[in-house]
Amino acid sequence: MSAEAKTSLFQFTEFWDGRSGISFGVEGLLMSEESEFQRVEVVKTDVFGNLMLLDGLVMLTERDEFVYHEMIAHPALGLHPNPKRVLVIGGGDGGTVREVVKHGSVEHVDLVEIDGLVVEASKRHFPTVASAFDHPKLGLKIEDGLAFVKNAAPGSYDVILVDSTDPVGFAEGLFGRAFYEDCVRALGPDGILVSQTESPFDERFQSQIQAAHRTLGTLFPHVALYLASIPTYPMGTWSFVMASKTRRPAEDFDEAEAERRLAPFADGLKYYRAPLHRAAFTLPAFVNRLF
C-alpha cells in the first residue's frame, strides 16, 4: 500500500443519523477527562489535525475551525454601526473571541463559558484557537451564560454571540424565549444577536431553526438565517440566526464599510470576506421553505 494511502490504526466515527456519519483516522488520544458538565476529549487525527470532542460530539478540528469562528463573529461585527462591547456565550475553545478581538472598534469582549475544562483543553491542545485568552480586551468568566445574561445590565452589549453546544442539557436554555428576552434587554439600541442553530439538513434541527427564527421574530424587527460550509459538522452545512434591532442583516450591510473594518486583518481570514456576507444569507430552496 502506498504511503499516502496509509490508514490509521484507529477510526473515530461521529454518527449523524443511523449508522451514517463522519469518520476520522485517529493517530492518538491526547486528552480524556470528565468535568462536572461533560466528557472532554482531544484526539490527533491523520488529516484534520487535533480534534475536540464534548460528550463524543465534534466541536472543532484544527483544519476547519476557521469557518465556524469567522462566520459566527464577522457578519455581526461587520453589520453593527460601531461594535464596542461584545458578549460570547459558550465558546470556551477561544476561537470566536480570537476573531472578535481582531476588530479595532471592539473595546471589550466578555466570554462566559460554563466549563473551565474546555478552556484548559483548548489552551493545551489548540494553541492557535486559544490565542486570545491573554488578550487585554478579554474578560473570561467561568459560569452559566443563562444566569449571566439574566443579570447583565440593560444595554451593556452591542453584539451577543451564542457559541454553545447543541440545545440539550445545560445548553438547552440558550435557545429559548426567556434567554432571548434577556438578550434583548442586555443589548444596546443597535444590538445584534447571533446564535449557531445547527444543520438545516437534519430534520431534527429544522424545527429548532424554525422555532429560534419564530421566537426571535417576536423580539427583534429583523431576523435572518445564514449558512456556512463546515466539512466536519453534521451534514456539512451549518446555520446561524442573526437578530438585529435596527440594521437588516443582508440589505443594510455596507460592503465598503466592512472592507474598511476588515482591511487590517483581511489577509489572515480564510473564509469570511465582505462580498460573501450577503451571499451567506441567500438560502437554498429547501432552507428558504422553512420560513
Looking at 144, 163, 166, 190, which residue is catalytic? 163
59 sits near ligand SAM (criterion: CB under 6 A): yes
- Interface pick for ligand SAM out of 91, 191, 200, 249 (rule CB under 6 A): 91
Strands (E), the chain: 10-17, 20-34, 39-45, 50-54, 57-61, 85-90, 108-113, 138-142, 157-163, 187-196, 222-229, 237-244
68 belongs to the binding site for ligand SAM (CB under 6 A): yes
Query: Binding to ligand SAM by residue 100, rule CB under 6 A?
Result: no
**Residue 113 within binding range of ligand SAM, rule CB under 6 A:** yes
Task: Check residue 130 for interaction with ligand SAM (CB under 6 A).
Answer: no
Using CB under 6 A as the binding rule, whether residue 195 contacts ligand SAM is answered as: no
Cα 100–Cα 105–Cα 109 angle in degrees, nearest 5? 40
- As measured in angstroms, the least distance from the Cβ of 95 to ligand SAM is 8
Q: Which pairing describes strands 10-17 and 20-34: parallel, antiparallel, or unpaired?
A: antiparallel
Alpha helices, DSSP H, located in 187-290 = 203-217, 255-262, 274-280, 285-288
**Least distance in angstroms from the C-beta of 211 to ligand SAM:** 17
Residue closer to ligand SAM by CB (options 157, 274) is 157
- Residue 92 is a binding residue for ligand SAM (CB under 6 A): yes
**Residue of 290, 197, 287, 199 whose CA lies nearest to 243:** 197
Least CB distance from residue 272 to ligand SAM, whole Å? 15
Figure out which of the listed residues 62, 64, 93, 182 binds ligand SAM, where binding follows CB under 6 A.
Answer: 93
At its nearest, how many Å lie between ligand SAM and the CB of residue 157? 15
Burial of 49 (0-12, 13-18, 19+ CB in 10 A): middle
Q: Which residues, other chains included, contact 228 with Cβ-Cβ below 8 Å and sequence gap of 6+?
A: 67, 68, 71, 237, 238, 240, 271, 280
Establish if 232 lies at the interface with ligand SAM (CB under 6 A): no
- Count of residues that bind ligand SAM according to CB under 6 A: 24
As a residue count, the chain comes to: 291
User: What's the CA gap between 196 and 279, in Å, rounded?
Assistant: 18
Q: Does 115 bind ligand SAM (CB under 6 A)?
A: yes
Active site (annotated) includes residue 252 = no
C-alpha distance across the termini of the chain, in Å: 50
Q: How far is the CB of 217 from ligand SAM (least distance, A)?
A: 22
Specify whether the CB–CB gap between 233 and 14 falls below 8 A: no
Q: Which residue is closest to ligand SAM by CB?
A: 90
Contact pick of 71, 73, 89, 274 for ligand SAM (by CB under 6 A): 89
What secondary structure letter does DSSP report for 137?
Answer: T
**List of residues contacting ligand SAM (CB under 6 A):** 37, 54, 59, 68, 89-93, 112-115, 118, 144-146, 163-165, 170-171, 174, 196
Residues designated as active site: 163
